[in-house]
Amino acid sequence: MIPILVVFLLALILFGAGFALHVLWWIALAVLVIWLLGFLFRGAGAGGSRGRWYRW
């Protein structure tokens, strides 16, 4: 009975981690798209450091 519970708990943990990682991949993809759009729309505007929307 205990090995079945251990396997069940392990499956639940791995399913939760897989779902969380899947969501994090979609969030990372959305941030990448926003970052690239920022370069396209702000890069064509004013030159120099004024056109930058980040601090590096």
Mean per-residue pLDDT of the chain:
78
Q: What is the pLDDT of residue 27?
A: 92
Burial of 55 (0-12, 13-18, 19+ CB in 10 A): exposed
What's the pLDDT at 13? 86
Alpha helical stretches, state H, the chain: 2-43
% residues pLDDT > 90 (the chain): 11
Q: Rounded to an integer, what distance in angstroms lies between the CA atom of residue 56 and that of residue 50? A: 12
Residue ranges of the chain with per-residue pLDDT less than 70: 43-56
Structure confidence at residue 49 (pLDDT): 55
In angstroms, the CA 16 to CA 26 distance is 16
Q: What is the pTM of this model?
A: 0.55
Residue ranges per domain, the chain? 1-36
Query: Token pair for residue 54?
Result: 């980040």
